[in-house]
Each structure stands twice: as structure tokens, then as C-alpha cells.
Structure 1
Amino acid sequence: MRCCGGSLPCPRAALRLELVLRCGQAFRWRESSPGHWTGVLADRVWTLTQTEERLCYTVYEEEEEEEEGSSTKPKQRDVQRQGEEAAGSLCSEPSPREPGGGTDSCEAQQILHDYFQLDVDLAALYQAWGAADPHFQQVAANFPGVRILRQDPVECLFSFLCTSNNHLVRITGMIERLCQAFGRCLGQLDAEPYHTFPSLQALAGADAERRLRGLGFGYRAAFVSRSAQAVLKQFGTKGLYQLRHVPYPEARRLLCTLPGVGAKVADCVCLMALDKAEAVPVDTHVWQIARRDYGLELGAGARSVPLRMHRELGGFFRRLWGPYAGWAQAVLFCADLKLFRQRPSAGRGPSGEPASREAALAHRRPTSAPAAGQGSAWPGATEAAAAPSKGQRGARRKRCSGEPDCTSPGCAPQGGL
């Protein structure tokens, strides 16, 4: 694969990669080497890292097909070496466009600017939220730079369809298998293959549900396949993107008509893909934050979050934090994750290195595929849309899975947005 790279001004106070890419907004970024994050964005493979003042990137692209008789498989590159280059020369001046095409520095920077929504003045928002909410001001001091990603609506929707009754490690593996089975291969880095996210047409195919069940998706296979069919029928290929231009309540309502999409998933898509900054995804985790830190006693003793509570909690936080309430909620959500609670600086020392080897490896891509039906409840699994069988519910009541992100009854919620 050929590559180019560069950097753009972006202080760590405005963006903390180790927080934003690990908190459960997106599931395809992994820490390929300490402080270097590799994933797929805009159908390209990227490695991101940062200094105190700059966001650095390397973009890898597919090689052009070679002459007949030669291999057309993209060449393997070493992520560690490329990451070291990004931390060095790439953080000085952006690289010019390579001869023969590819992503030039202007286009790459625009993609990153849009993905991380760098036009949003995060410092001003933190200041406003802190002035309105003393609890936020106290917590946010240790968690600067938490932003909401602006994701592709198709990838965001179908990724969150995989989160019901699930935990982070298994979700990541499922989405990876989904991309390998239905996406297009972009090549390999450090012996790891990378793929595009599948198209709606691929997920809506006649045998998609059967193939997904074979990949361990269980009952979610039907939701993925049937939602893809419904999106194509109701909205068309570009229909999800057009929801960026309709009011939040209408976008949320339309999403909730799709198979398997409840209030939590709809709000996640609205917030993270459809430019609805006021959307506040509510799950058992956010519900506990509201009860513990804000004294709200909605639905005490309930095991799930009913639709009425979604509306009431969302309204409460919108009144408190204003039109970017979903962004403020993400900061408190990050601060409350066990992963980050144990290390207020997100596991980083003064030099920005991981606090331990385990921390550096914690978010590498899973190498084994869990069997269908395994896994503990994900915080977003409180919707009735993805109701498991009576036997499955009983199994979750009886035991905890032991996973770090387990949120089975009796365990403290530790999952993602």
C-alpha cells in the first residue's frame, strides 16, 4: 500500500484520541502500537497519533493494479515503523500529494476535521457546561478533549445494532467479522487485514441473514439484514444521510421504525452520525449517573430504561446543558467508565505512554471469534427491541460473564456510549 501523511493543528485539550477512540462511540480503531491508533475511515486505512499541539496522520491507500501476471495484492507495511514516522517527520509539515494520485494533505485534513468535528469550540462548551453544572465542572477537569465523532450513518447504525445484549470486546469482534465477510479488502498492515464497511446492498442480500448467523450474530442477524432492506426501501441508498437535514425528533422517530432499533440506538445514531448534538443516548449506565449524581429517582428498582424515561432524562439533560447536551453527556460517560476511572489520565503518564503493557494491548483487535450467544449485557441492551428468550434472560441473571465490560445485573456498568 502506498502512504502519505501530515499533521494539523489540534491541541490535546481539544481532542484526546485515547478517550474518544476507546469510549464506545466507534469500534474499528485499535491501538496498533503505544499512542498510535489504526482504523478505517472514508474507505482508507489511517494511523493517527498526536503531540501536545498537533494531530498527526498516515493514510494508506491501495496500490494500482500491476501489469498482467504480477500480484495485485497490496503490499504489507509495518505499522510500528509507520507510526514512528508519524510521530517524527509527519508532525512537522504535511506531506505533499504523491505522484499518481491518492489522498492529498488538504483532503486528508478535511476528512479528519469533519470526522472529529474540529470546528466545534470544545473549550467554550466545557466552560458553559461547567458554569451551568458544578458536578460537570468537577469531573471534566480530568477529562478534557472528549468530542463526539461525526461518523458515516450506515456504519454507525449497523455497528450499534450489534451492541444489544453485548459487551465491547465481542462487539468489536462481530463488526470486524462483518467487514471481512461483506466489505472490500483494502490491504494489510502489520499482517492485519483491513476492510471497508459493507454497503447497504451487501447487508440486504438474499443470504445475508444466514451468513451473519454463521458468523455468530444470533438474533442480531435478522435485525442487520432486515434493517438494511428497510433502509433501501424507505430511504434509498442516500436516505440516511438526508436525515442530517431533518429535525432531531423526526430523525429519531424514523430510525425507530427500523427492525431492532430502539430509543438508545436511534439516539446514538442521531448524535454520532446525523448532527443532532442535542440527542442524549440513555441506557442503564446514564440512568445510574442521573440517579447518583443528580438525585433523579426515575424508575427506581427497574431493570431496564422504558421509553418514557428516555424522554424525561433526555429532556432533563438538554435543559441543564443546552443544545450540545449529547456532547456533555459523553464527557461524564467517559469519566465514569471503569477503564478511565482507574486511571484519570486515561492510562497515560507524563510522556503520553501507556501505564502498562496490558493497557497498550487492551484494545488490539480480537484474534478469535466468540461462539454465537456468548457475552454479557451491553449498556445499550435495555431496549425491548432486542429481547432475548426467557432462557437467555435467566442465564444472565444467574451469573456474570467475567468480561471487563460486563453489565449483567449486579455488576457496575462499564460499557460504551
Structure 2
Amino acid sequence: MQIEETNNHIVLHGVTEFDLEQTFSCGQCFRWERDTGETYTGLFGAHPLRIGQQGDVITLYHTTKEEYETIWCGYFDLDADYRAIQAHLARDAVMRRAISAGRGIRLLVQEPFETLISFIISANNNIPRIKGIIARLCEAFGAPVPFEGGTVYAFPTAETLTRLTRADLAPLRAGFRDKYILDAAQKAASGAVDFDAVYAMDYAAAKRELKKVMGVGDKVADCVLLFGFQKYDAFPVDVWVRRVLEHCYPDDAHRSDAAAFARERFGPYGGFAQQYLFYYVRENKIAK
């Protein structure tokens, strides 16, 4: 891959195993929106970006090389060897088909607290509604950030959210999740859930730590570990993933613990397998 800095843009040439549409539509993030045309706009923390793709050329608009190197290269996981990851997983026949469908998916390296709140909001919810609640949360309580002649809003900090009540959150229309949002903020801000320690913990210990938060069960914890802490042996199981496991692994997927089956089968790359399978089942409309 070659990096070109031109006209206040960063242009990446020869990009492989990275497709913006696939990456932003596989259920791992909720703050990226497609513009009119071939670009997307989103934020990482307080850093907004407009990004576009034409084939193997990706353009990061109004971005310096320093911003690319310190923020976006890491966020988009561009230093990882996805070809090697895919080769490892492709020893499984089902995974070969799933990878072929979603070869351009990359796992975004997201901020842990934002990821925790986002997936608490995701429980028993659909993606348009999740995005709406998160957008209202950021507009109401996030710091304003000037961007392309307008204003976007950073994700609110845990400390900001600790000063709120359920009445303050009522306009978000988050329903029963509002008390979970406040509990997560209190435990993150106080250190009752130690995010720094989670990075160093093994999968089982890290999952127990996150489940101290109200409303965080197995699936939400696995999502946060995978997308927020880069625990790539985590394998979140939702209705879509369970469906593809039952369809494609009929002799194994009915085990009581589908996530344990997947971790055993895919090992340290279970999280990557989950994203390929999630995209595969939705794109192919695999029936129940």
C-alpha cells in the first residue's frame, strides 16, 4: 500500500482486504453514515472524518499524514495482515464462502467506553434505532466539534454521563437501557470496572469484569471485548450468527454454548470469523 498526501487529503493506493461498505455495515459500529455518493462520514472519539473509496484507492479527506498515522491507520487496523488471517480461517469450508462474500471487512479498533454504551443500547434493538439513540446522546451531551462548515458531536465521556439522571436521558428514547447507561458510566468513571485491567486480562476474566455492569450479558460483553478491547477470541452470538451456525454446522451448532464451539473451532481468530459469518448470513438471507 502506498500513502500519498495531496491537497490536504491522504490517499491510500493499492489497498487490499478493505471495503468501506462491508466494514461499516457488519454490525460493529454505529456512527458512520453514507453520504450522497461514494463517501462516508463518521467519528472516532472527537475526531471526525469523511472517507471515500474507488476500487483499491481510499481517500481520507481533510486529513494530515500525522492524523492518519496517529489516529486512522490504527482505527481502521491497516497495519494488520488480513490476508494471513483469512488464509488461516479459510481452512474451514464454510469460512471460505463467508470470506469470499465479505473479504473487505476490517475490525475497527474502537474506544472501549463508547463501545460499551453502544452495545448496551443495542440490546433487543435494531440498527436504525440504535443509531438514532446514539446520535441523540452525542448531540445532547457530547462536545461539539467543528467539521466541514458544520458541527458534529463527540461521544460523551463517562464523567459527563455520571452527572445525569434517568430524566435527563428520557429524550433519547432509550427505554429500559437508560439505567444501564448510567450504571456503566458510574462504574467506568469510578474504576469499579477497570478498563485498563481488561486489556491485560484473559478472555474469561475480562468478560467477568464487564458483566459487573448492569445490562451486560454474554452477547454484549463479547461485542465490547471484540470491538472495544481487541479480544479476538471473543465470538458474539446474536440471532443472525446463531442462524448461520445452525445452517452451516448442523452437527455442532446446537450445542448449548455456540460461542464456546466457535472459539474452539476458530481459535484466536474467532472474532474475525464472527464478522465474516454475520455479513455472509445477512447478505445471503439464510433462512431460519
Equivalent residue, structure 2, for 1:143: 102
1:136-159: per-residue Cα shift (whole Å, max 9, x none)?
Answer: 112322321112111000110001
Equivalent residue, structure 1, for 2:4: none
Equivalent residue, structure 1, for 2:76: 116
Unaligned runs of 5+ in 2: 1-6
1:8 matches 2:12: yes
Aligned partners of 2:262 and 2:270 also within 8 Å: yes
1:298 matches 2:257: no
Report SS of the residue matched to 2:101.
Answer: coil
Report SS of the residue matched to 1:321.
Answer: helix
1:154 matches 2:157: no
Report SS of the residue matched to 1:162.
Answer: helix
The structure 1 segments of at least 4 consecutive aligned residues displaced by more than 6 Å after TM superposition are none
Equivalent residue, structure 1, for 2:64: 104
Q: Distance in 2 between matches of 1:10 and 1:28?
A: 26
TM-score by length of 1: 0.63
Q: Distance in 2 between matches of 1:293 and 1:313?
A: 13
| Alpha carbons of structure 1 residues 58 and 235: separation in structure 2 relative to 1, 3 Å | farther
Report SS of the residue matched to 2:35.
Answer: strand
Equivalent position to 2:265, from 317, 320, 330? 320
Equivalent residue, structure 2, for 1:196: 154
Equivalent residue, structure 2, for 1:260: 215
Amino acid at match of 1:104: T
Equivalent residue, structure 1, for 2:122: 163
Report SS of the residue matched to 2:169.
Answer: helix
Q: 5 Å matches for 1:13-412?
A: 13-59=16-62, 104-131=64-91, 133-187=92-146, 189=148, 193-205=151-163, 207-235=164-192, 239-295=194-250, 296=252, 298=254, 309=256, 312-337=257-282, 340-341=283-284
| Alpha carbons of structure 1 residues 179 and 258: separation in structure 2 relative to 1, 3 Å | same
Q: Distance in 1 between matches of 2:253 and 2:268?
A: 24
TM-score by length of 2: 0.90
Equivalent residue, structure 1, for 2:3: none
Q: Distance in 2 between matches of 1:273 and 1:154?
A: 8
Identity over aligned residues, as a percent?
Answer: 30
Amino acid at match of 1:214: P
C-alpha RMSD of the superposition: 2.2
Aligned partners of 1:185 and 1:196 also within 8 Å: yes
Q: Distance in 2 between matches of 1:199 and 1:4?
A: 30
Unaligned runs of 5+ in 1: 60-102, 300-308, 343-410
Q: Distance in 1 between matches of 2:24 and 2:149?
A: 20
Aligned partners of 1:185 and 1:195 also within 8 Å: yes
Report SS of the residue matched to 2:121.
Answer: coil
Number of aligned residue pairs: give it: 281
Cα deviation for residue 288 of structure 1 reads: 1.5
Aligned partners of 2:253 and 2:261 also within 8 Å: no
